[in-house]
Structure 1
Amino acid sequence: MTALTPSLTIVAARLPSPPTSAELLESDVAGATPDWRGIAVPDHVMQRFARRSDAAPLAARPIAGGQIHVLARCPGFGAVLLDAWDGAQQRWRGWLVTPDTSYADACGLVVEERDAPADPRAGLVLCDMPVTLAVADLGACLGVFSQERLQAARWLELHGRANAAPAAPGVIARVALPGDGYALTGTPLSTELGKDGRVAYRQLLRQGLQQLQIAVAPPASDVAAVKLVPAAKQAANANRWLKVVTAVAASVMVVQSAWLFLPKDNAVVGNAEFRNGGSGVETGVRTRVLFRAEATEAEIRTWLQREQLEIVAGPDTLGAFTVLSRDRRKVLPPPGPGNPLAVINP
């Protein structure tokens, strides 16, 4: 128990309301309060400040899979690693994230240096605690996982419980993944009642989720894990999208024709700028997007005009369109009420 930090009392203080059972908490630490004025800030605390500063530019990033976002309704409680967008339910599926790496069990993925930049509030992905959230439930971005790391979280949700190592609270273990990969995780939970503080820790977290009315996602299966992401993309290829294609085909063809007939010295430059064949260089930002299956042409057209965006390509084989903003500082609003977006950068 002494290997687990912070204490369960501190974890309970993050909940929106006090826990329903005081038995979950450790006894108060006896003794006088120390005088902190003469104590230097430890190096590991300074490192956390530096990590938070490094991750600060990620805060306003548009929502997408693989990102870790703080819970908007209670930022101090935790965050969520986004896995996949469920277009039918209009919700994200992901896993609860906390800063408490020492509470990792066999299904806990420890955030490492290779995941940098990552805010220190994102320290442990609890792959056995999948949740579903609306876009409005997501706050600032704390970090971004690679596809390899995202796959590691999926694997731990499905197979982490198979780890038969002895329970050792506070011990971080290295687990081999399929292929040449690995993940830092914890040992299995102890089956002896009261011997493993990580059991009480998860009970506190479940109470917090209930208080915040955050839905617990059903356990993943190999079939569901594979089909969830394509489901959102498949909706973009529904028959309704033939109307959108017809509506934008003419403008796309004009743009593409202009690109084809530009002189070599006025060719497209990367994905960020192109010459207009005349008075200089026009710059802009291109972004691939998927629109909601139920979004109407009028809704999409109105939103494009309001955001000063143009469709310059698409739909591709996944049903995604590429939109262009002339403003290089433009950041697309996250999917949600008021816009027809389903996924940004699918």
Structure 2
Amino acid sequence: MTALTPSLAIVAARLPSPPSSIELLDEDVAGDTPDWRGIAVPEHLMERFARRSDAAPLAGRPIAGGQIHLLARRPGFGAVLLDAWDSSRQRWRGWLVTPDASYADACGLVVEERDAPADPRAGLVLCDMPVTLAVTDLGACLGVFSQERLQAARWLEWHGRANAATAAPGVIARVALPGDDYALTGTPLSSELGKDGRVAYRQLLRQGLQQLQIAPADAAAPAAKVPMQAANANRWLKLVTAVAASVMVVQSAWLFLPKEGAVVGNAEFRNGGSGVETGVRTRVLFRAEATEAEIRTWLQREQLEIVAGPDTLGAFTVLSRNRQKVLPPPGPGNPLAVINP
């Protein structure tokens, strides 16, 4: 257990209430308290401060799939990596996230440099601990995963337990993923009772989730079965293509042509020299079950225009002439499934 940091006592202190079984902490809390007054701040802690500063601009991002958000009611307990919006339950499905990379087992995805910027409070995605949360359960954004990294988390939820390596608590392993990708993860949990602190670690986390009344999701539920299903399904492509065509017909001709000096994001679209039109472009996926009328009404209400799409993922690009425009998060009252997929 010496390779596992932080100690279980520190993990238990994050819970809203003391753990129901304190015996598992007895050995962990034994010993004298060190005198920290003459000890300099270690370099690795300074690096964590820098990472937190780099990720700070992400905090206010609109909620979308692939993002890591703190748990609003207990930010010190952990966070969640959002996978898919379940419109039937009006809840997000995702996986619990903690700072504790050394506690990774075969279903744990370690956050790496390629995931930067990412707040150090997001260090480990526990893909064997899927949860469902309401939008109100989500706090500040700590990081954003690419679609490839999100797929890695899904793969570990499905296949991580098939890892037959020898249990080695505190050891970070590299596992090959389909294609040429890889993931940093841990070794399987030990079957010897009391020999693997990661087992007690997960017990503490489950107690914390119960105290916060955060419901576990169905284990290994494929993302395709959640209403935010793959946007390139045949029915969806037919629907959204029709929506795009009908909306674009009423747009001005300049929306269809690349403009000189155009920039994606907060942009200026020059229309030949006489004037400048400004706006913000955002890629979005609509929910598979959203109707054409629902999408059209929402676009008009939000004063948005579809200017591109669908692409190979089934995503559209919408334009707002208001440069300060922030799209509302997916949820009740709009047809969005994912922002910036």
Per the normalisation by structure 1, the TM-score is: 0.81
Q: Which moved more, 1:257-266 or 1:149-158?
A: 257-266
Query: CA separation in 2, counterparts of 1:318 and 1:60?
Result: 26
| Structure 2 residue aligned with 1:158 | 158
Q: 1:224 to 1:244 in 2, by over 3 A?
A: closer
Question: Which of 224, 227, 234 lines up with 2:221 in the alignment?
Answer: 224
Q: Any idea what the Cα deviations from partners look like across 1:59-118, whole Å, max 9, x if unmatched? A: 122222221111112111111111222232222221111001111111111111111111
1:9·1:25 contact (CA, 8 Å) conserved in 2?
yes
Give the match for residue 304 of structure 1. Answer: 299
Contact 1:48 1:120 in 2 (8 A): yes
Structure 2 Cα separation of the partners of residues 149 and 285 of structure 1: 26
CA distance in 1, matches of 2:159, 2:223: 15
**Is the 2:63–2:330 contact (alpha carbons within 8 Å) kept by the matching residues of 1?**
yes
Identity %: 90
Distance 2:263 2:31 in 1: 69
- Give a deviation string over 1:216-244, Cα, whole Å, max 9, x none: xxx999995262367xxx79999999999
Going from structure 1 to structure 2, the CA distance change for 1:206 and 1:96 (only over 3 Å counts) comes to same
By how many angstroms is 1:300 displaced?
Answer: 6.7
**Residue-pair matches, total:** 339
- Taking a change above 3 Å as real, the CA distance of residues 250 and 8 of structure 1, as seen in their structure-2 partners, is closer
Indicate the larger mover: 203-212 or 171-180: 171-180
Q: 1:221 to 1:296 in 2, by over 3 A?
A: closer
Match of residue 148 from structure 1: 148
Q: For the structure 1 residues 136 and 300, does the alpha-carbon distance in structure 2 shift closer, same or farther, using more than 3 Å as the test? A: farther
Q: What secondary structure sits across from 1:272 in the alignment?
A: strand
Assess, with a 3 A threshold, how the Cα gap between structure 1 residues 222 and 54 changes in structure 2: closer, same or farther. Answer: same
Bigger mean CA deviation after superposition, 83-92 or 106-115? 83-92
Relative to structure 1, is the Cα distance of residues 265 and 184 closer, same or farther in structure 2, using a 3 angstrom cutoff? closer
Match of 2:259 among 247, 256, 264: 264
- What is the CA-CA distance between 1:179 and the residue it aligns to? 2.5
Q: Is the 8 A contact 2:243 2:292 kept in 1?
A: no
Contact 1:86–1:228 (8 Å) recurs in 2 = no
Tell me, what secondary structure is at the counterpart of 1:125?
strand
The Cα RMSD (Å) is: 4.0
Deviates more, 1:247-256 or 1:157-166: 247-256
Deviation at 1:160, TM superposition (A): 1.1
Greater Cα shift, 68-77 or 170-179: 170-179
Alpha-carbon deviation of 1:46? Answer: 0.4
Partner SS, residue 318 of structure 1: coil
The structure with more helix, counted as a fraction of residues: 1
Q: Is 1:52–1:119's contact at 8 Å kept on the other side of the alignment?
A: yes
Q: Is the contact between residue 248 and residue 311 of structure 1 (CA under 8 Å) also seen in structure 2? A: no
Please tell me whether the aligned partners of residues 265 and 281 of structure 2 are also in contact (alpha carbons under 8 angstroms): no
After TM superposition, the structure 1 stretch with the greater mean CA deviation from structure 2, 13-22 or 300-309, is 300-309
2:55 paired with 1:55: yes
For residues 28 and 310 of structure 2, the distance between their equivalents in structure 1, rounded to whole angstroms, comes to 60
Gaps spanning 5+ residues in structure 1: where? none
Give, in angstroms, the shift of residue 27 of structure 1. Answer: 3.3
Query: Which stretch shifts more, 289-298 or 115-124?
Result: 289-298
Matched, 1:89 2:89: yes
TM-score of the aligned structures, taking structure 2 as reference length: 0.82
Query: Could you tell me how far 1:156 is from its partner in structure 2?
Result: 1.2
Residue 60 to residue 31, structure 1, CA distance change in 2 (3 Å): same
Q: Which moved more, 1:136-145 or 1:265-274?
A: 265-274
